[in-house]
Structure 1
Amino acid sequence: MTKVLIIGAGHAGGTAAALLRQHGHAGPIVLAGEEAAAPYQRPPLSKAWLKGEAGLDDLLLRPESFYVEQAIDLRLGVTATAIDAAARTVAFSDGTTETYDVLVLATGSTARRLPVPGGDDPSLLELRTLKDAERLKALLGPGKRLAVVGGGYVGLEAAASARALGADAVVIERMDRVLARVASQTLSDFFTALHRAHGVEILTSAEAQSLEARSLEDGVVRLADGRTIQADAILVGIGAQSCDGLAATAGLACDNGVVVDEQARTSDPAIFAIGDVTNRPVPVHDGARHRLESVPNALEQAKQAAAAIVGRPAPTPEVPWFWSDQYDVKLQIAGLPFGADRQVVRGDPTAPGFAVFHLQGQRLLCVEAVNAPAEFMGGRLLIGKATPVDAERLADAAVSMKAVAL
């Protein structure tokens, strides 16, 4: 029987293992991960977990008993060190070797280090794993101050959670606005105002020149303009990079991630790759390649790989989507804005309940919806079907999302 070895026991890897059994795969499945915990959800780490609103049982994708019942060999606390594609074996850090007929790489991504003096100090915090979140949570509370280097979604979510725990927070962003790499100016303006209203200090056009984490509870961020930011904890959130080193060493095609096709298959027909580690085509955006870091992407590619492995029809391509929860605001984004030539705002962009649409001619490419579920869901459908839209009707909140199509 076909043996499937999955490297990476995160959301993508855990889902792929479960889907293989659900689809009737009867052969051996080995699911190996670096962390000590069974596959769990990562998005709550910067939100519910950090605020004490969720425990480990709430985070787990499935109880550990599931893997026993489904005869999935769950190997935790081990790191894959080498792939021998010719022999179809993988070596692990504990000295063991696993054979495979089909290999699935779900190694994810890792936090980028800040390339400044002190940027590699182990006392600095990041927020990628349960262990990271536990370290950060222990340092937050009344009278504490969190400095976040990087004004992206994870950093803003951590700042919001810090405020909920009674700690002060300052966000340091080298660009001229937060979310500059991932969101529209309208969205950046809204979240800047939201955080400042909740007492978060937002510093833009502020470049960290050096970091000094004297201890876990005593740090200094020195800015290029001479200012110093004192903090009890320093969190660096400047994005992530694909953990594709193992794949590259094994000779797989890599380009800002492991290159895969629409079935999540790599340049080696016996090896698949799924989740954050991949550089994948996005069919609903004309097959353009992107590296997507999101739970929906992990789930979609897990479906693709599982279907291909068991010989089922390929699942219908999905519209990429993302979300972020900050205070009482839910941001939902569908689609990718690349190639847009104009934006249409629907609703009041200074208050929750608005949406920003990115269009290319009459084609909708992306929607950013702030506490606007109808706009998110409607926009996602229009993007998926490539339905032409009327920009004037799209801007009129009195016109239903169903009525904006041409």
Structure 2
Amino acid sequence: MVDEHRTFVIVGAGLAGARAAETLRAEGFGGRVILVGDERDRPYERPPLSKGFLTGAADRSSVFVHDPAWYTQAGIELHLGQPATRLDPLSRTVVLADGTPLTYDRLLLATGAEPRRPDVPGTGLAGVHRLRRLSDAERLRGALAARGQENGHLVIAGAGWIGLEVAAAARGYGVEVTVIEPEPTPLHFALGPELGSLFADLHREHGVRFHFGARVAEIVGHDGTVWAVRTDDGEEHPAHEVLLAVGAAPRTALAEAAGLALAGRDEGGGIAVDASLRTSDPHVFAAGDVASAEHPLFGRRLRTEHWANADDGGPAAARAMLGRHVSYDPVPYFFSDQYDLGMEFCGHAPPGAYDQVVCRGDMGKREFIAFWLLQGRLLAGMNVNVWEVNERIQQLVRSGAQVDPDRLADPGVPLESLAS
């Protein structure tokens, strides 16, 4: 064991923080590892909160990254239910809410993101939900199970990934669902209108109602509980429960107060880090949802809010903290399950970044691969109910090679033969 005299502090006890702690030990670090989290639960994975755990297919114990005994065996000091309230880079000290000071040699900020809170009346009513934490998912799961037995109504503000996955889960319980979305299709900024309409059709087939081109203006209550949702175009929707799923904001308050550099809005916000996940302070690193990293592959900063980024970013930051050479350049990846549709997406193709969408397979049967291109170069791909291909799609994205759109659309042409 090496570095026994050093202390590494990780602020943020989510997946990125847990994987960083695990990697420090796996790489032979013998000093103190202190993992700080503001939740009382030990680190867990967030995808099940809107998928298997929410639907009831998975139990609570399945979401945790490690068993409780692992932290003791690995010598990881847990400070749970204790948010970090102040960071002093000059003295290399983090102060917890109870006043405990933690002095570090290296610090990792893995503080994640938090749901955005729309500024509308009624968000404090009983029956208004956000979905970010395990406790949120437990509360929402109980509400859906109860409302499903009563023919209750759930209104979801936001047709992004969380909103759609919760809609699918709610329909599984028998809950009536209305989704309110200001854009003309679901997932408009994630997939564009070409693919967003496919998800609208999928959910309509399962009884979900959409109200596009509108925002929630007021959540109306009766006796302190939700009764209806009004939109800014004057419509009113009955509701017993409301989910606010209008995006997430990186939790940068600790870093900002300490004077660390932040990324611009056009870079997704978050804490600015280089390709080794180091912040503007050489002793402080950031990973996961909160980090906006210089991406060697795309030549720009990216802030990614998905599971794979936490799972990969935590270990990469740990190695950089140990002085290893790190150039963090994974192809962004995420997945979703909705009803009988499963999909994987990789790459980076924001609105305006591509000029063509090519599909191979049968969109009608929802068994296809979609590709986003710019001047013949593959930026991103999404496989829908087609499996064992995502690794090859990632290789094409990483290659930066020109591809022939006609061959790309032909299922008879192997993906591995497309790079020119």
Identify the TM-score tier after normalising by the shorter chain.
over 0.9
Q: Does 1:277 align with 2:298?
A: no
Q: Does 1:222 align with 2:242?
A: no
Q: Match for residue 302 of structure 1?
A: 314
Q: Shift in Å at residue 121 of structure 1?
A: 5.0
Q: Which whole-Å CA distance do the structure 2 matches of 1:213 and 1:59 have between them?
A: 34
Q: Shift in Å at residue 387 of structure 1?
A: 2.8
Counterpart contact for 2:130–2:245, Cα < 8 Å: yes
Q: Does 1:151 align with 2:163?
A: no
Q: Match for residue 135 of structure 2?
A: 131
Deviations 1:279-335, CA, capped at 9 Å, x for gaps = 1122221x2112110111112221221111223342662111111111121121110
Q: Match for residue 24 of structure 1?
A: 28
Q: Does 1:364 align with 2:378?
A: yes
Q: Does 1:92 align with 2:96?
A: yes
* Mean Cα deviation higher: 310-319 or 137-146: 310-319
Letter in 2 for 1:2: R
Q: Match for residue 12 of structure 1?
A: 16
Q: Does 1:336 align with 2:344?
A: no
Alignment of 1:367-378 (within 5 A): 367-378=381-392
Q: What RMSD in Å do the two structures reach over aligned CA positions?
A: 1.6
CA 1:216–1:182: 2 relative to 1, 3 Å: farther
Letter in 1 for 2:334: F
CA 1:216–1:19: 2 relative to 1, 3 Å: farther
Alignment of 1:257-276 (within 5 A): 257-276=270-289
Q: Match for residue 350 of structure 1?
A: 364
Question: What secondary structure is seen at the aligned counterpart in 2 of 1:393?
Answer: helix
Q: Which whole-Å CA distance do the structure 2 matches of 1:274 and 1:213 have between them?
A: 40
Q: Match for residue 189 of structure 2?
A: 181
Q: TM-score, normalised by structure 1?
A: 0.96
CA 1:214–1:350: 2 relative to 1, 3 Å: farther
Q: Which whole-Å CA distance do the structure 1 matches of 2:418 and 2:367 have between them?
A: 18
Counterpart contact for 1:284–1:383, Cα < 8 Å: no
Structure 1: state its 5+ residue gaps.
none
Q: Which whole-Å CA distance do the structure 2 matches of 1:281 and 1:313 have between them?
A: 15
* Mean Cα deviation higher: 181-190 or 145-154: 181-190
Q: Shift in Å at residue 349 of structure 1?
A: 2.1
* Mean Cα deviation higher: 3-12 or 389-398: 389-398
Q: Match for residue 39 of structure 2?
A: 35
Q: Does 1:194 align with 2:208?
A: no
Q: Shift in Å at residue 240 of structure 1?
A: 0.3
Counterpart contact for 2:371–2:378, Cα < 8 Å: yes
Counterpart contact for 2:127–2:240, Cα < 8 Å: no
Q: Which whole-Å CA distance do the structure 1 matches of 2:122 and 2:198 have between them?
A: 33
Counterpart contact for 2:127–2:226, Cα < 8 Å: no
Q: Which whole-Å CA distance do the structure 2 matches of 1:264 and 1:316 have between them?
A: 7
Q: Shift in Å at residue 397 of structure 1?
A: 1.6
Q: Which whole-Å CA distance do the structure 1 matches of 2:364 and 2:214 have between them?
A: 24
Question: What secondary structure is seen at the aligned counterpart in 1 of 2:362?
Answer: coil
Counterpart contact for 1:379–1:401, Cα < 8 Å: yes
Letter in 2 for 1:163: R
Q: Which whole-Å CA distance do the structure 1 matches of 2:284 and 2:183 have between them?
A: 39
CA 1:101–1:316: 2 relative to 1, 3 Å: closer
Q: Which whole-Å CA distance do the structure 2 matches of 1:9 and 1:104 have between them?
A: 11
Q: Does 1:321 align with 2:333?
A: yes
Counterpart contact for 1:124–1:216, Cα < 8 Å: no
Q: Which whole-Å CA distance do the structure 2 matches of 1:396 and 1:219 have between them?
A: 51
Q: Which whole-Å CA distance do the structure 2 matches of 1:405 and 1:391 have between them?
A: 11
Q: Shift in Å at residue 375 of structure 1?
A: 4.4
Counterpart contact for 1:190–1:350, Cα < 8 Å: no
Counterpart contact for 2:372–2:381, Cα < 8 Å: yes
Structure 2: state its 5+ residue gaps.
264-268
Work out the number of aligned pairs and report it.
Answer: 405
Q: Match for residue 234 of structure 1?
A: 242
Letter in 1 for 2:385: N
Question: What secondary structure is seen at the aligned counterpart in 2 of 1:160?
Answer: helix
Q: Which whole-Å CA distance do the structure 2 matches of 1:375 and 1:358 have between them?
A: 16
Letter in 2 for 1:333: F
Alignment of 1:42-57 (within 5 A): 42-57=46-61
Deviations 1:340-372, CA, capped at 9 Å, x for gaps = 222112122232211221112231110122112
CA 1:358–1:26: 2 relative to 1, 3 Å: same
Q: Which whole-Å CA distance do the structure 2 matches of 1:359 and 1:24 have between them?
A: 43
Q: Which whole-Å CA distance do the structure 1 matches of 2:223 and 2:48 have between them?
A: 26
* Mean Cα deviation higher: 227-236 or 215-224: 215-224
CA 1:337–1:254: 2 relative to 1, 3 Å: same
